[in-house]
């Protein structure tokens, strides 16, 4: 606290990202990064941009990237006018809160969800109401339809940190039943097991679908995300962006992201490898007695009926393996474990029995 702070700053509750450890020999299964590298074509494109041309500002509209995203989704009627890009999908989401969710009625999102949503609500003073997930941790569309007037709806699909997928037909039922609300579907993990709602965009002017290159494109370090929606929604986002930062994507990010989107072969290969490793990880955890929620993401959400999640996480940490543990009441006995390389997943499965024994004996 300082007398120099503006009043809103003292009322903020900033988001706490997962640990990025300084020591390098840790097995990092805590922030859902992709164990495989980005497309070699993306790395080459980034390197080609590292010239004296960096003295010039980048393309303010990131046009090559919007063209690539539109081309990839052309079968769904997507054009560059349907695309917004930002410095990570977190920035895209922040602008969406500001541009599309700041109304009189409270917005709706699940009680267990991406913890940046309450942070943005707080930052932009957006009133919100949380809708409890069902006992099996899935989203029930009817609960949103019965929640009364709302200023918008946002949820991740698959949800974070549960990994549970809402079928596309249910997403459509929600979007179709709420024509007066913007519905934002945060598809950070959709490539690992779901069908994207981008397929619905041309039919629903109230739907905004948000993607990131951090997970399935393995470019968390480049900071690129995008949204696809009706051009009127995109104009709202552009108005906020152009009142905030004209150049959110630098030259290297535009070039690297464009090449990554165009490298479909690398994307498919690594996506399928992660899905395969996830199946092995789920099998291994289940054998050790964990209950694992059905995951359509590049992480699993698991609890052990006999062992305290915080203790297991601390035990793993002492072995150099980091997983994510959240303390909010409903999920305090769960661990969120990123699907790493096969070797990393195996190291986790090998380390676990010792820690399960230890807490059992206490």
Within 10 A of 305 (CB to CB), how many other CB atoms are there? 8
- Tell me how far, at minimum, the Cβ of 293 lies from ligand PLP, in Å: 15
- Tell me how far, at minimum, the Cβ of 355 lies from ligand PLP, in Å: 26
DSSP code for 326: -
Of 30, 62, 73, 89, the one binding ligand PLP (CB under 6 A) is 89
Longest dimension (CA), the chain: 63
- Tell me how far, at minimum, the Cβ of 97 lies from ligand PLP, in Å: 13
Residue 288 to residue 337: CA distance in whole angstroms: 15
- Tell me how far, at minimum, the Cβ of 89 lies from ligand PLP, in Å: 4
- Tell me how far, at minimum, the Cβ of 98 lies from ligand PLP, in Å: 16
User: Interface with ligand PLP includes 160 (CB under 6 A)?
Assistant: yes
Of 33, 61, 186, 344, the one binding ligand PLP (CB under 6 A) is 186
User: Interface with ligand PLP includes 64 (CB under 6 A)?
Assistant: no
- Three-state secondary structure readout of 17-75: CCCCCCCCCCEEECCCCCCCCCCHHHHHHHHHHCCHHHHCCCCCCCHHHHHHHHHHCHH
- Tell me how far, at minimum, the Cβ of 189 lies from ligand PLP, in Å: 7
- Tell me how far, at minimum, the Cβ of 288 lies from ligand PLP, in Å: 26
Assess contact for 127 and 105: CB atoms under 8 A.
Answer: yes
Of 73, 214, 218, 270, the one binding ligand PLP (CB under 6 A) is 214
Quick one: 126 or 352, whose CB is closer to ligand PLP? Answer: 126
Of 35, 38, 80, 156, the one binding ligand PLP (CB under 6 A) is 156
User: Interface with ligand PLP includes 88 (CB under 6 A)?
Assistant: yes
Assess contact for 241 and 95: CB atoms under 8 A.
Answer: yes
User: Interface with ligand PLP includes 212 (CB under 6 A)?
Assistant: yes
User: Interface with ligand PLP includes 38 (CB under 6 A)?
Assistant: no
Q: Which residues pair with 323 in a beta bridge?
A: 29
| Positions in 216-275 near ligand PLP (CB under 6 A) | 220, 225
Cα four-point dihedral sign 306, 309, 314, 320: positive
Residue span binding ligand PLP (CB under 6 A) among the ranges 61-69, 197-205, 212-220, 283-291:
212-220
How many residues of this chain interact with ligand PLP, rule: CB under 6 A?
12
Residue 25 to residue 17: CA distance in whole angstroms: 20
User: Which residues have C-beta within 8 Å of that of residue 325, sequence separation ≥ 6?
Assistant: 309, 310, 313, 334, 335, 336
Beta strands in 124-257 (DSSP E): 128-131, 153-156, 183-186, 207-212, 225-229
- Tell me how far, at minimum, the Cβ of 341 lies from ligand PLP, in Å: 19
Of 84, 114, 226, 290, the one binding ligand PLP (CB under 6 A) is 114
Residues at the interface with ligand PLP (CB under 6 A): 88-90, 114, 156, 160, 186, 188, 212, 214, 220, 225
């Amino acid at each position: 606290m300082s007398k120099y702070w503006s009043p809103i700053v003292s009322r903020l509750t900033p988001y706490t990202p997962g640990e990025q450890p300084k020591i390098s020999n840790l097995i990092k299964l805590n922030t859902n990064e992709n164990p495989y590298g980005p497309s070699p074509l993306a790395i080459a494109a980034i390197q080609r941009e590292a010239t004296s041309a960096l003295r010039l500002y980048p393309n303010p509209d990131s046009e090559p990237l919007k063209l690539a995203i539109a081309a990839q989704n052309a079968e769904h009627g997507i054009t560059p006018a349907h695309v917004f890009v930002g410095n990570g999908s977190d920035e895209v989401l922040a602008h969406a809160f500001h541009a599309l969710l700041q109304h009189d009625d409270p917005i709706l999102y699940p009680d267990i969800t991406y913890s940046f949503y309450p942070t943005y609500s707080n930052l932009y003073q957006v009133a919100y109401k949380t809708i409890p997930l069902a006992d099996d941790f899935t989203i029930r569309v009817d609960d949103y339809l019965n929640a009364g007037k709302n200023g918008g709806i946002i949820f991740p699909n698959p949800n974070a940190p549960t990994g549970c997928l809402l079928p596309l037909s249910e997403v459509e039922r929600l979007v179709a039943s709420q024509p007066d609300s913007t519905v934002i579907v945060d598809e950070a993990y959709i490539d690992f097991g779901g069908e994207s709602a981008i397929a619905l965009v041309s039919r629903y002017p109230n739907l905004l679908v948000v993607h990131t290159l951090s997970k399935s494109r393995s470019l968390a370090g480049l900071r690129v995300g995008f949204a696809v929606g009706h051009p009127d929604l995109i104009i709202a986002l552009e108005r906020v962006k152009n009142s905030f930062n004209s150049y959110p994507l630098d030259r290297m990010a535009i070039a690297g992201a464009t090449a990554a989107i165009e490298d479909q072969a690398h994307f498919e290969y690594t996506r399928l490898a992660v899905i395969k490793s996830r199946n092995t990880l789920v099998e291994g955890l289940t054998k050790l007695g964990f209950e694992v929620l059905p995951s359509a993401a590049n992480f699993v959400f698991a609890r052990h009926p006999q062992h305290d999640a915080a203790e297991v996480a601390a035990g793993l940490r002492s072995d150099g393996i980091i997983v994510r543990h959240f303390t909010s009441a409903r999920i305090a006995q769960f661990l969120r474990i990123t699907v790493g390389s096969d070797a990393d997943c195996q190291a986790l499965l090998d380390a676990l029995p010792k820690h399960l024994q230890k807490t059992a004996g206490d």
